Amino acid sequence: MAGFLARRVGGALLILLGVTAITFALLFLVPADPARQIAGRSASAATVESIRQQLGLNLPLWEQYGRYLLRLAGGDMGRSYIQRTEVASLIWSRLPATLLLMLGAIVCELLIGLTAGVVAAVRRGRAVDNAVMVASFIGVSAPQFVVGILLLYVFAVQLGWFPIGGYGTFSHLVLPALTLGILGGGWYSRMARSSMVDVLRQDYIRTARAKGAGPGRIVMVHALRNAVLPLIAMIGLDIGLFMSGAVVVESVFGWPGIGQLTWQAIQQVDIPVIMGVTLTAAVFIVLGNLLADLMAPFVDPRIRLR
């Protein structure tokens, strides 16, 4: 167990190191000169040069990368070109809103996906099953910004049940979380269906049936746990989906998280912020994968830790 943990954590750290190498390389592709960006348009050549010295942009590449890593280790992601504040503190202040949104999305995604998938599996080949499968295809093919605007139009503008956008109360959370959860719900319903179909075919289910358990008891007591828990344990793998989705959903609903921060940074070509968010998202994805790896054996003892 300890060896497994060490290997997985070590692997995750290596991936993170690679991630920083890529973001560092991306920064080098930026056509604009960062020293000039910071100095401003009217700065003299001498000022630009002194800023370049200060930032260490005249050093060899590997030394710059080393400094970049040291800065990152100290929580320094650079400064925003536009707002002149620390990127790290911008992201830090926006993170709680995004995490809350993700939590809501996870609840929506599991509620929609698992319910639909299990019902489809139990009623396999019937009209309900077909309807669920069609809906899941629509769910994974629908662009999130259109889903978001549609929900806003119907439930906020026309029916007035929810606020048009913003942040603060539970009712502000419902529509954005639902929008973010629908895509994952589409995937989960398909996975839950096939997982449930597999479980219902197994011998121990036949045994339960032979001993006289009713169909409701078989599904709820015997099958559900084995079919659904492994899927829930994989929730960490969805972080990437949520991080991408957050940019779209937060910009549609005006949700003050790191997605909205990204959207603002896009409009102003504020590259340090975009890089900071990309790096933060990558860290969360690596952590999510690690979490999924660690949870799998607890849910299914047949998976051995290697």
Task: Enter the tokens of residue 169.
Answer: 């109360």
For the bound state, the minimum distance from the C-beta of residue 94 to another protein, rounded and expressed in Å, comes to: 14
- Distance of closest approach, residue 208 Cβ to another protein, in angstroms: 27
Smaller CB distance to another protein: residue 10 or 214? Answer: 10
* Six token digits for residue 145: 């910004």
Extract the tokens encoding 164. Answer: 């048009």
Residue 87 in contact with another protein, rule: CB under 8 A: no
Q: Judged by CB, which is closer to another protein: 50, or 264?
A: 264
49/256 Cα distance (integer angstroms): 37
Binding mask 126-145 for another protein (x = CB under 8 A): --------x--xx-xxxxxx
Residue with tokens 């439930």: 155
- Find the angle CA(170)-CA(239)-CA(128) to the nearest 5 degrees: 75
Piece of 61-69, 149-157, 202-210, 214-222 that binds another protein (CB under 8 A): 149-157
Task: Report the alpha-carbon distance of residue 184 to residue 180 in Å, rounded.
Answer: 8
Cα–Cα nearest to 180, from 250, 238, 105:
105
Interaction between residue 248 and another protein (CB under 8 A): yes
Q: Does 22 bind another protein (CB under 8 A)?
A: yes
List Cβ<8 Å contacts ≥24 apart for 16-19.
Answer: 16/282, 16/283, 16/286, 19/279, 19/282, 19/283, 19/286
| Residue 245 beta carbon to another protein: minimum distance, rounded to whole angstroms | 8
Please state, in angstroms and rounded to a whole number, the distance separating the CA atoms of residues 281 and 85. Answer: 20
> In one letter, which amino acid is 170?
F
CB of 107 to another protein, least distance (A): 21
CB of 263 to another protein, least distance (A): 6
Nearer to another protein, 184 or 223 (CB): 184
- Contacting another protein (CB under 8 A), which of 102, 243, 249, 261? 243
Burial of 93 (C-beta count, 10 Å sphere; 0-12/13-18/19+): middle
Phi, psi of 86 (to 5 degrees): -65, 130
Answer yes or no whether residue 244 interacts with another protein by CB under 8 A: yes
Binding mask 249-278 for another protein (x = CB under 8 A): --x----------xx-xxx-x-x--xx-xx
Q: Which residue, 1 or 159, is less far from another protein as judged by CB?
A: 159
* C-beta closer to another protein: residue 116 or 223: 116
Between CA 281 and CA 262 the distance in angstroms is 11
Number of amino acids touching another protein (CB under 8 A): 49
Q: Least distance to another protein from the beta carbon of 221, Å? A: 31
State residue 59 phi and psi, 5-degree precision: -80, 165
Cα 286 from Cα 294, distance rounded (Å): 12
**If binding is defined by CB under 8 A, does position 59 make contact with another protein?**
no
Residue 18 binds to another protein (criterion: CB under 8 A)? yes
Q: Which residues bind another protein (CB under 8 A)?
A: 15-16, 18-19, 22-23, 26, 29-31, 134, 137-138, 140-146, 149-150, 152-153, 157, 240-241, 243-245, 247-248, 251, 262-263, 265-267, 269, 271, 274-275, 277-278, 281-282, 285-286, 289
